[in-house]
Amino acid sequence: MTEVRDYSNLIGGELRPAADGRTLDSVNPATGEVWATIPRSGAADAAAAVEAARAAFPKWSGMPAAGRAHYLRKVAEVFAKNAKELAELETIDNGRLITETAKRDLPGMTYLWTNAAAECAAAVEGRSVDFGPGSQGLTRREPYGVVLGIIPWNSPISTLSAKAAFALAAGNTVIIKPAEQATVSSLRVGELLREVLPPGVLNIVSGLGEEVADPMVRSRGVNKVSLTGSVGTAQIITRASAESLKPLALELGGKSPNIVFADADLDRAAPGVTTQAIFTANAGQICYGGSRILIQRPVYDEMIYRMKEIAAGVRLGDTLSPDTTMGPIVSAEQYERVTSYLEIGAKEGAELVFGGRFGAELVDEAHAGGYWVEPTLFATSDNSLRVCQEEIFGPVAVVLPFDTEEEAVALANDSVYGLAAGVWTRDLGTAQRMFRRLDTGTVWVNTYRKVMFPLEGTKDSGYGNDSVLAYTREKAGLFEF
Ligand code: NAD
């Protein structure tokens, strides 16, 4: 049993417990053990965070862009210096493999914060329009004020950074509300950044969404809310923010199609579809997971054979070991949800291609208390099934055959979601047509899950993104002399 450590909120440059002293337990999903406690903050903490962020806003937004860039470069250094510790904390906190957090996430954070520092200048660039002698139009980019970032549990440090870095670069002050299932790494980031950023510029407040985020969503002291989370939460936030007509950015879920054409290089497509897009990457708990696999009939059997082989080699267990290739489901609640889809798929008549087992039998004794589901694939030709339409958010995917490009487009777009899509083909014409015709925010061709631009969805996958311009608005002025 590991020692249980207590973590605190960061509000106005101070590390504070919840005002009423309440806490929540944080569970290591690989073992089921409580390993930390976090503040269960409420309305008083929400009010304190808003007040601190408001108080810090005039100085932070009034600073020259180069001044803000200087601070953000110092933040990048903190991430570089503490990468190992933060990667381990994130892995223990949410079950994301150390190979993901140490090799992909944390190095990415140094790049992201450095990039945000470089973007500070772009955030203050306006336009000039000449209306003739003595009449000139100008625009000026301004920060919103206080930005509230509400983040999910599946990749906390990356999501916190994407919101905070660009909102801060644009001159806003920020409050982050991490997800209650995986908060520790965010609170540790707060401890580290307290030494670097001026008080109140970045605040991190943990607890349940309805208890601490809701009052901030309603507060007139908060000027923009950016949520990465589920559609249900987005609907609640949209209603809660209506009173103050707050601008929102909603980065939500997906049921992304990953489409393999018969001419694809199967040596790339099979691992790309199987490991990167769904199963091993965060055990399928990624918003843009390509969990709806469409395969053109001539290569259908060959792809299934290859996917089966890859899934058979997946190793579950110690998330801190580089030999483990798939982690656990994040929480008991999410485990119930994911495993319920195994039953739903079977009841709906989908064929179980492989997988379907879950629980302690998949791992050694030390991990028997964790939340384990093996890579599972259902097959069907009916895209209306729940396993084809609903986001499962676990290592459970579905495969559908198709004959023509037309059919692939129709199947791919037959979804309430529109976050991302993958296309595997050797034909540039096919790739370009699919890029135009897929109703999703991102299309990856012969690759998947490489994020170059801010993610932005269509349909129920939401709207808005985390970029420096998205955290500014443009004020217009007309000058006549
Ligand atoms: P969730 O919607 O349950 O929770 C997200 C956050 O919202 C948490 O911090 C939670 O505490 C907060 N919240 C809950 N109720 C609230 C309320 N009433 N008011 C204010 N805040 C509230 O989502 P989750 O289960 O943590 O994450 C999984 C979801 O996130 C999936 O749907 C996934 O697709 C999505 N996601 C999207 C992206 C993206 O970039 N598009 C990235 C990662 C995850």
* pLDDT tier at 298, thresholds 50, 70, 90: very high
Distance CA 278, CA 285 (A): 8
> Is the pLDDT at 3 greater than 90, yes or no?
no
Residue 312 has pLDDT above 80, yes or no: yes
How far, in Å, from the CA of 196 to the mean position of ligand 1?
28
- Residue span(s) of the chain under CATH 3.40.309.10 come to 257-452
Average pLDDT over residues 251-261: 97
> Above 90 in pLDDT, residue 69?
yes
Percentage, residues of the chain above pLDDT 90 = 96
The set of catalytic residues is 251
Average pLDDT over residues 345-368: 97
Which tens digits make up the pLDDT trace of 318-329?
999 999 999 999
Crossing angle of the two packed helices 83-94 and 65-81, in degrees rounded to 10: 70
284 lines ligand 1 (CB under 6 A): no
Give the predicted TM-score (pTM) of the model.
0.97
User: Which of 105, 233, 248, 335, when mutated, tests ligand 1's pocket best, judged by the most ligand atoms within 8 Å of its CB?
Assistant: 233
3-state secondary structure of 479: strand
pLDDT (0 to 100) of residue 62? 97
Mean pLDDT of 206-220: 98
Task: Check residue 454 and give its pLDDT.
Answer: 83
Given this model, what pLDDT does residue 281 score?
Answer: 79
**Any ligand 1 atom below 6 A from CB of 246:** no
Q: What is the dihedral of CA 361, 362, 364, 368, to 10 degrees?
A: -70
Question: What is the CATH architecture assignment of 5-252+462-478?
Answer: 3-Layer(aba) Sandwich (3.40)
Q: Which atom of ligand 1 is nearest to the CA of 234?
A: 2
Q: What is the pLDDT of residue 280?
A: 86
Confidence grade of residue 264 (pLDDT, cut at 50, 70, 90):
very high
pLDDT at residue 154, as a whole number: 93
Instruction: Characterize the bridge pairing of strands 5-6 and 442-445.
Output: unpaired
> What's the pLDDT tens digit per position in 168-212?
999 999 999 999 999 999 999 999 999 999 999 999 999 999 999
CA of residue 154 to ligand 1 center, whole Å: 9
Q: Note the pLDDT tens digit of each residue in 371-392.
A: 999 999 999 999 999 999 999 9
The response to whether residue 333 sits with its C-beta less than 6 Å from ligand 1 reads no
- Ligand 1 pocket residue status of 350, Cβ below 6 Å: no
Q: From ligand 1's centre to the CA of 470, what distance in Å?
A: 20
Q: What is the pLDDT of residues 133-164, one digit of tens each?
A: 999 999 999 999 999 999 999 999 999 999 99
Any ligand 1 atom below 6 A from CB of 289: no
State the span(s) of the chain assigned CATH 3.40.605.10. Answer: 5-252+462-478
Question: Residue 198: what pLDDT?
Answer: 98
How far CA 264 is from CA of 261, 269, 272, 450, in Å, comes to 5, 7, 12, 19
Other CB atoms closer than 10 Å to residue 144's CB: what's the count? 22
- Ligand 1 contact, 287 CB (< 6 A): yes
DSSP per-residue string spanning 247-269: -EEEE-----EEEE-TTS-HHHH
Dihedral angle sign, alpha carbons of residues 148, 154, 159, 161 = positive
Report which DSSP code applies to 124.
Answer: G
77-125 pLDDT, tens digit each: 999 999 999 999 999 999 999 999 999 999 999 999 999 999 999 888 9
155 Cα nearest atom in ligand 1? 43
Using the CB atoms, write b or e for 408-445: b if 16+ within 10 Å.
bbebbbebebbbbbbbbbeeeebbeebeebbebbbbbb
Which CATH superfamily does the domain covering 257-452 fall into?
Aldehyde Dehydrogenase; Chain A, domain 2 (3.40.309.10)
pLDDT score, position 452:
76
**Segment 455-477, tens digit of pLDDT:** 899 999 999 999 999 999 999 99
Q: Which residue has a Cα nearest atom 40 of ligand 1?
A: 251
Task: Decide whether any atom of ligand 1 lies within 6 Å of the 252 Cβ.
Answer: yes
How much distance in Å is there from the Cα of 309 to the middle of ligand 1? Answer: 33
Query: If you measure from the C-alpha of residue 241 to the centroid of ligand 1, how many angstroms do you get, rounded to a whole number?
Result: 16
For all residues of the chain together, what is the average pLDDT? 96
96 close to ligand 1 (CB < 6 Angstrom): no
Kindly give the distance from the C-alpha atom of residue 391 to the centroid of ligand 1, in angstroms, as a whole number: 13
What percent of the chain is modeled with pLDDT above 70? 100
Q: Going by CA atoms, what residue is nearest to atom 16 of ligand 1? A: 209
- The yes-or-no verdict on residue 1 having pLDDT over 70 is no
